[in-house]
C-alpha cells in the first residue's frame, strides 16, 4: 500500500512511449490506422490523466506522502506532457523553438531538485508549477482534438479554430514555463541561503 502512489505514477512512464507509437503510426505508414490511433490515443491520455489524479489522492488519503513521491510524481507528469508535445512537434504543429524552451526549463528544474536533494530537502510542486501543468494539459487536449478531427474527417470546418486554440495554449505553456522557472530559481536561492545562515 505504501508504494501505491508511486506505482500509479509509474503508469505514465509505461504508457507514454505507447502513446507516441500509436500517435505517430499513421504518420509513419502514410495514414494507416488513422481512426484507430485517435481512439487509442484518447484512451491512453485518459488513463495517464486518471493515474495523475489517483496517485495524489491515494498519497493524501492514506498519509503516505514521501520525498521520493514528491520528486517522482512531477517527473512522471513531465514524461507524459513532453511526450504529447513531441508528437505535436512531429506532425509540424507545435513550433520547435517552443518545445525547446519547455525542455530546457524542465531539465533545469530537474537539476535544481537534485541540488536541493543534496542539501537534504525535496522541492514538491509549487502553485505556479501546478498551473503550468493545467496549461500543458489543455494544450495537449486541444491538439489531440484537432488531430482527431483531421484523422476521422469529422468537424473539418472547426480544425483551424481548434489548432488556433492549441497554439494559444502552446504560447501560454512557454509563458508559464519561463515564469515558473524563475519562481523555482528564487525558491532554490532562498533555501540555500537559509542553509548558509543556519551554519
| Domain of residue 160, residue span | 4-191
CA distance 21 to 24: 5
Q: What are the helix (H) ranges across 29-158?
A: 34-61, 67-90, 96-118, 127-152
Q: Half-sphere exposure (CA, 13 Å, Cβ side) for 180?
A: 25
Q: Is the dihedral of CA 81, 87, 91, 96 positive or negative?
A: positive
Residue 1 banded pLDDT, cuts 50, 70, 90: low
Which pTM does this prediction carry? 0.89
Judge whether 196 lies within some domain.
no
Judge whether 99 lies within some domain.
yes
CA distance 73 to 133: 12
For 95-132, how does the pLDDT look when each residue is reduced to its tens digit (9 = 90+)?
A: 999 999 999 998 998 888 888 777 777 666 677 788 89
For 57-103, how does the pLDDT look when each residue is reduced to its tens digit (9 = 90+)?
A: 888 787 777 777 777 888 898 899 999 999 999 999 999 999 999 99
CA distance 70 to 6: 10
| Phi-psi domain of 161 (left: phi exceeds 0; alpha: psi -120 through 50; beta: other) | alpha
Name the DSSP class of 64: -
Judge whether 59 lies within some domain.
yes
Judge whether 197 lies within some domain.
no
Asked whether the beta carbons of 73 and 56 are under 8 A apart, the reply is yes
Judge whether 198 lies within some domain.
no
Judge whether 179 lies within some domain.
yes
The domain total for the chain is 1
Core vs surface per residue 108-147: b (16+ CB within 10 A) or e = ebeebbeebeeeeeebeeeebbeebbebbbbbbbbbbbbb
CATH code (residue 25): 1.20.120
Judge whether 106 lies within some domain.
yes
Asked whether the beta carbons of 86 and 99 are under 8 A apart, the reply is yes
Coil, strand, or helix at residue 119? coil
Residue 39 banded pLDDT, cuts 50, 70, 90: very high
Q: Which residues make Cβ contacts (< 8 Å) with residue 197, sequence separation at least 6?
A: none
Amino acid at each position: 500500500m505504501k508504494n501505491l502512489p508511486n506505482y500509479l505514477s509509474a503508469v505514465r512512464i509505461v504508457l507514454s512511449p505507447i502513446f507516441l507509437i500509436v500517435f505517430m503510426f499513421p504518420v509513419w505508414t502514410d495514414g494507416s490506422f488513422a481512426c484507430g490511433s485517435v481512439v487509442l490515443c484518447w484512451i491512453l491520455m485518459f488513463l495517464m490523466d486518471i493515474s495523475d489524479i489517483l496517485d495524489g489522492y491515494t498519497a493524501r488519503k492514506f498519509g503516505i506522502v514521501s520525498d521520493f513521491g514528491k520528486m517522482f510524481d512531477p517527473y512522471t507528469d513531465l514524461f507524459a506532457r513532453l511526450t504529447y508535445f513531441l508528437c505535436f512537434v512531429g506532425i509540424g504543429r507545435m513550433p520547435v523553438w517552443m518545445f525547446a524552451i519547455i525542455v530546457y526549463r524542465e531539465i533545469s528544474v530537474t537539476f535544481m531538485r537534485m541540488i536541493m536533494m543534496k542539501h537534504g530537502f525535496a522541492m514538491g510542486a509549487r502553485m505556479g508549477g501546478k498551473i503550468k501543468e493545467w496549461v500543458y494539459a489543455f494544450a495537449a487536449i486541444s491538439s489531440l482534438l484537432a488531430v482527431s478531427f483531421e484523422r476521422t474527417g469529422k468537424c473539418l470546418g472547426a480544425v483551424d479554430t481548434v489548432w488556433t486554440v492549441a497554439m494559444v495554449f502552446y504560447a501560454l505553456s512557454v509563458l508559464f514555463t519561463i515564469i515558473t522557472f524563475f519562481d523555482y530559481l528564487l525558491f532554490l536561492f532562498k533555501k540555500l541561503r537559509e542553509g548558509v545562515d543556519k551554519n
